[in-house]
């Protein structure tokens, strides 16, 4: 932090004078040219030029002046969020996170109707990185007794008696598997749709409940090698790009099934985690047909099967 006297504290009269200068500057041809691109200086969003506000890089209350060098065109959300912060104290929230905030109002997750024999919970963790938003995925360790051995997944696991509720399960498992403390660094945004668990093509009497968290920033994780082979922060833009959408062929006792999948470098995300990501993308961008939401609880969609 800079010392408190880094910027002189202006008095009321000075602030009033600078506000008046700001109003004049707003009427100038220079400002009209400056905002004609419609691009927000902070987040890069393009809006109608007259929807851009004049933002003081160093705010007036922090001693900033209404000069050409200290004002930038900013979208309304950036101007509102930045308030009295200095540029280095503040980062614009990714536009996707803002849309998510808006879409979460009125969001009701679809929950399992029948109580299953077993319950599990996972943490779907987003984190902003500059203007982008990243999603945390893990690759499960190879383990002979794990039906999802080596799969791409979200951190999470079975509910234990010690867990107060399913959110507590997701938080505990995330801490155990990758050393990430969601209580300290995360905010729970919402619960997502319950998903029926399948293993090896058979439905299990088990429901997985995903919980959506957002972190303050992308954070380092420390995978426990007994449970997690690696973890990665995948840009949401990548998952939204149709180029990453494909299928994965899985051989089941001589019958090959093609499952819809997201391709991330050498990894394919399919099955349970695919369905949960699709639910998330649907929530964020309305990318997939919302009518699939109810179906997601019941059937993993198999594109086609053929003999091997």
Looking only at the bridges linking them, the beta strands covering 118-129 and 202-215 are parallel
Residue closer to Zn ion, measured from CB, 42 or 262: 42
Residue 40 in contact with Zn ion, rule: CB under 5 A: yes
Q: How far is the CB of 178 from Zn ion (least distance, A)?
A: 32
CA nearest to 212, candidates 129, 74, 109, 307: 109
| Least distance from Zn ion to the Cβ atom of residue 57, Å | 13
Closer CB to Zn ion, 42 or 270, in the complex: 42
Q: Is 182 in the site for Zn ion (CB under 5 A)?
A: no
User: Would you call 124 helix, strand, or coil by DSSP?
Assistant: strand
| Cβ-based nearer residue to Zn ion, 40 or 121 | 40
Polymer length of the chain: 308
In the numeric block, the tokens 């959408």 are attached to 245
43 binds Zn ion (CB under 5 A): yes
Name the one range near Zn ion by CB under 5 A: 74-82, 206-214, 219-227, 279-287. Answer: 74-82
Crossing angle of helices 271-285 and 95-104, rounded to 10°: 90
Residue 41 CB neighbour total at 10 angstroms = 18
Stretch that binds Zn ion, among 57-65, 69-77, 119-127, 262-270 (CB under 5 A): 69-77
Q: What is the largest CA-CA distance in the chain?
A: 82
89-115 in b/e form (b: 16+ CB < 10 A) is eebbbbbbbbebeeeeeeeebeebeee
Q: Contacts with Zn ion in 76-95 (CB under 5 A)?
A: 78
Question: Reduced to 3 states, what is the DSSP secondary structure of residue 31?
Answer: helix
Taking the complex as a whole, the smallest distance from the CB of residue 76 to Zn ion amounts, in Å, to 8
Q: Is 270 in the site for Zn ion (CB under 5 A)?
A: no
Of 237 and 289, which CB lies nearer to Zn ion in the complex structure? 237
Q: Which helix or strand (DSSP H or E) is residue 205 part of?
A: strand 202-215
Query: Is residue 42 close enough to count as binding Zn ion by CB under 5 A?
Result: yes
Pick the closer one to Zn ion by CB: 40 or 236: 40
75 binds Zn ion (CB under 5 A): yes
Shortest approach of Zn ion to residue 55 CB, angstroms? 9
Residues in contact with Zn ion by the rule CB under 5 A: 40, 42-43, 45, 75, 78
């Amino acid at each position: 932090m800079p010392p408190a006297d880094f910027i002189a504290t202006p008095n009321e009269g000075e602030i009033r004078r600078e506000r008046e200068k700001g109003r004049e500057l707003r009427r100038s041809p220079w400002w009209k040219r400056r905002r004609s691109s419609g691009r927000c200086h902070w987040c890069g969003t393009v809006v109608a030029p007259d929807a851009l506000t004049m933002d003081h890089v160093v705010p007036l209350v922090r001693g900033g002046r209404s000069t050409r060098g200290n004002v930038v065109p900013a979208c309304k959300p950036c101007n509102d969020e930045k308030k009295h912060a200095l540029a280095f104290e503040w980062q614009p929230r990714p536009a996707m996170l803002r849309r998510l905030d808006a879409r979460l109002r009125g969001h009701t997750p679809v929950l399992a109707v029948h109580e299953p024999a077993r319950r599990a919970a996972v943490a779907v963790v987003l984190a902003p990185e500059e203007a982008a938003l990243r999603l945390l995925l893990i690759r499960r360790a190879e383990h002979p007794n794990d039906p999802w051995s080596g799969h791409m997944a979200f951190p999470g696991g079975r509910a234990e008696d010690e867990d107060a509720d399913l959110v507590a399960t997701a938080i505990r498992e995330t801490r155990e598997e990758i050393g990430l403390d969601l209580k300290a660094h995360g905010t729970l945004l919402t619960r997502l749709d319950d998903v029926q668990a399948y293993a090896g093509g058979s439905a299990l009497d088990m429901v997985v409940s995903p919980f959506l968290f957002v972190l303050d920033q992308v954070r380092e994780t420390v995978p426990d090698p007994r449970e997690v082979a690696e973890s990665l922060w995948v840009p949401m833009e990548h998952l939204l790009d149709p180029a990453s959408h494909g299928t994965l062929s899985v051989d089941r006792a001589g019958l090959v099934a093609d499952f819809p999948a997201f391709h991330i470098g050498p990894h394919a995300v399919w099955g349970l985690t695919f369905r949960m990501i699709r639910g998330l993308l649907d929530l964020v961008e309305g990318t997939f047909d919302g009518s699939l939401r109810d179906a997601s609880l019941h059937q993993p969609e198999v594109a086609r099967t053929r003999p091997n």
